[in-house]
Structure 1
Amino acid sequence: MKNVVFLASLLLSTAALADGKPNVVILATGGTIAGAGAGVANSATYQAAKVPVDKLIAGVPELASLAQVRGEQVFQIASESFTDAHLVTLGKRVAALARQPDVDGIVITHGTDTLEESAFFLNLVLKTDKPVVLVGSMRPGTAMSADGMLNLYNAVAVAAAKDARAKGVLVTLNDEIHTGRDVSKAANLRTDAFKSPWGPLGMIVEGKTYWFRSPAKRHTTASEFDIDQLDRLAPVEIAYGAGNASPTAYKAFAEGGARAVIHAGTGNGSVSSAVVPTLQALRGQGVQIIRSSRVVGGGFVLRNAEQPDDKYDWVVAHDLNPQKARILAAVALTRTGDTKALQRMFMEY
């Protein structure tokens, strides 16, 4: 079997050299981009993760004009069912492919619900400057005005582009290129669903990339984290702040073994007076308390504003939303439990 895989890789590399096209591997994980509805009018009602990767590729024959493309089915799930174990498995497979000299770029098809979390995780732990691009769709391929075909075409165009190297893990939807660090799903029924609070990095037009800014935060080859040194992530949970807040969820998460709780606070990561004593007590028991904000669209949590973080030995998530803060905490806590070190990481990544 290994000889067959080696031969296939050798043939792919030889073919690519012959026509000068880069080699791009598409790793499929499921999601809406692989979904199917009962009819063409079903754009929001459908079953995700139905179409295998070979059919996705065959459905966009224009990919051959961009690169030598081959596919691999890693998972076939809806992304809301992604676990930390899935993240580690995916990360290790991407890292292995990135080390191959006959692989120039990698595309990952992914459900949009947790695409931003997977993108940020990979941005933290991959040690490669090759383009790694996550892509999804907001409508299944069976729907009128389905967006998956063009999104996939654009993703391969970015993965094949030399100017996409060393920019970290990227996300492409709706003709835009985003950094996996910033981007989040901001709508659930429109094709322009993905937004970055600080704006996209660039655009793709007719298969060509146009860049307008570069990521400022640490990522990939500049990261202190490495997927090859990770077998599991630390357990981290998110508790949502709201009016009439109670400490029930925080206590339950701690009792369930969470090493950190992300507080998805109102405004500037504010914490209800009814919850503060519980968070102080949990920190005294060794649970990290990380203040994030549930606010959508920009801004960041200021340290020692709203709450005396230095006094309580808490961490602020800076501009990371709660779900991205969970990812960074889950990775960071595999290396350190020191609050100051964690705060440094939240400022640098």
Structure 2
Amino acid sequence: MNARVVIVGTGGTIAGRGASAAHTATYDCSVETVDDLLDALPGARDLADIQTAQLFQTGSENFGNEELLGLARHVRALLKRDDIDGVVVTHGTDTIDETAYFLHLVVPSAKPVVVVGAMRPASALSADGPLNLYNAIVVASSAASRGKGTLVVSNDEIHSARDVVKTSTFKQEAFRSTFGPLGYVVEGRARFYRLVARRHTVESEWSIDTIQALPEVAIVYAHGGINRTVIEHMACSDVDAIVYAGTGNGNVAHELIDSLVKARARHIHIVRASRTGSGIVIRNAAQPDDRYGWIAADDQVPHKARILMMVALTGTRTTHALQEAFVTY
């Protein structure tokens, strides 16, 4: 018996179309429906019993908190059904790693959730979307994918939503994980070689079933000569936390320390992350986090640290518990 899979469309480059086959980076985004993509994919319906749903039709740069919540609730409702074995979400690649990580944290199901996109529109020469979608259906249909959290499939690789990051504006091998992919899709079969050690999905303390809204978390990107007024203006806005994407090991320029300390005094949480793209931000190393009541992002990149912070803030707001989230998830 074939697995029963729902493909949820949200738009993106995978649903894009250019003026000619040579247009790989200039095209109209989110033109094709998920049914259009499926109808153009030979052999897809032999992989699983497939249903479709077009939830959104937009580039993922437009995904805000409401879209995250709406998608998570929709996926959660599907996975509660006994007649559904897995879900594939087609998504723009701009924020695919953020959306996938959100689902990884708040959808408490062992059933596979696979998020997939493309770096080239369907109309382009050597379009990657068709094979990516085919492979995503393979992964969502595989019993081996159960319990591994939300997955991102791209370029024959299966990545954990926790680790994967987009690293290029145009290359098909744009998606990378610091610790490598969990596995590969080879000749129409999902092959896994490692597991995720951190908590997720059914082991998560958060669930979309109880999250009504998401707190506001902003990111400040460090650079040489950054002015403290950036922090001061942000601290006066309606934010619950600031992720500071510092240089190196989350380093903070002397001029900014007082502004961040004052922001924390206003009950705005401060998360020290790094703009480098990889590595661990060590607590109480570059800055005395205990003294200031700040949080170290561990190995999470700034934009995904923002996702974790938004989710964690829906529960406890103590600094200790929030810091624990970064070393647990």
TM-score range, shorter chain: over 0.9
Query: Take 1:247 and 1:221, find their aligned partners in 2: how far apart are those partners?
Result: 41
Specify which of 311, 318, 321 is matched with residue 291 of structure 2: 311
Specify which of 255, 264, 275 is matched with residue 274 of structure 1: 255
Partner of 2:165: 184
Q: What one-letter code is carried by the residue in structure 1 that aligns with 2:292?
A: Y
Query: Take 1:63 and 1:211, find their aligned partners in 2: how far apart are those partners?
Result: 21
CA RMSD of aligned residues (A): 0.7
Specify which of 109, 116, 128 is matched with residue 128 of structure 1: 109
> Bigger shift: 248-257 or 192-201?
248-257
Show structure 1 runs of 5+ residues with no match. Answer: 1-19
Specify which of 287, 308, 315 is matched with residue 328 of structure 1: 308
Partner of 2:35: 54
Partner of 1:96: 77
Specify which of 158, 167, 171 is matched with residue 152 of structure 2: 171
| TM superposition score normalised by structure 1 | 0.93
Partner of 1:239: 220
Aligned residue for 2:57, secondary structure, equals: strand
Query: Take 2:110 and 2:4, find their aligned partners in 1: how far apart are those partners?
Result: 15
Q: Which digits, 9 at most, give the CA deviation of each residue in 1:180-223, with x for residues without a partner? A: 00000011111000000111000001210111100011000000
Q: What one-letter code is carried by the residue in structure 2 that aligns with 1:201?
A: L
Show structure 2 runs of 5+ residues with no match. Answer: none
Partner of 1:262: 243
Q: Which digits, 9 at most, give the CA deviation of each residue in 1:214-244, with x for residues without a partner? A: 0011000000000010111000000001100
Q: What one-letter code is carried by the residue in structure 2 that aligns with 1:131?
A: P
Pairwise CA distance, 1:258: 0.5
Aligned residue for 1:227, secondary structure, equals: coil
> Bigger shift: 251-260 or 37-46?
251-260
Aligned residue for 1:117, secondary structure, equals: helix
Query: Take 1:70 and 1:335, find their aligned partners in 2: how far apart are those partners?
Result: 35
Partner of 2:134: 153
Pairwise CA distance, 1:61: 2.9
Aligned residue for 1:106, secondary structure, equals: strand
Partner of 2:317: 337
Aligned residue for 2:197, secondary structure, equals: coil
Query: Take 1:200 and 1:186, find their aligned partners in 2: how far apart are those partners?
Result: 14
Q: What one-letter code is carried by the residue in structure 2 that aligns with 1:316?
A: A
Pairwise CA distance, 1:179: 0.2
Q: What one-letter code is carried by the residue in structure 2 that aligns with 1:341?
A: A
Q: Following superposition of structure 1 onto structure 2, how do residues 280-291 of structure 1 map, counting pairs within 5 Å?
A: 280-291=261-272
Question: Number of paired residues?
Answer: 329
Aligned residue for 1:289, secondary structure, equals: strand
Query: Take 2:72 and 2:183, find their aligned partners in 1: how far apart are those partners?
Result: 25
Partner of 2:183: 202
Q: Which digits, 9 at most, give the CA deviation of each residue in 1:260-297, with x for residues without a partner? A: 0000011100111111010011111110000000102x
Asked whether 1:112 is paired with 2:93, we answer yes
Partner of 2:6: 25
Q: What one-letter code is carried by the residue in structure 2 that aligns with 1:232?
A: A
Pairwise CA distance, 1:82: 0.3
Query: Take 1:252 and 1:321, find their aligned partners in 2: how far apart are those partners?
Result: 23
| TM superposition score normalised by structure 2 | 0.99
Query: Take 1:302 and 1:251, find their aligned partners in 2: how far apart are those partners?
Result: 25
Query: Take 1:251 and 1:89, find their aligned partners in 2: how far apart are those partners?
Result: 32
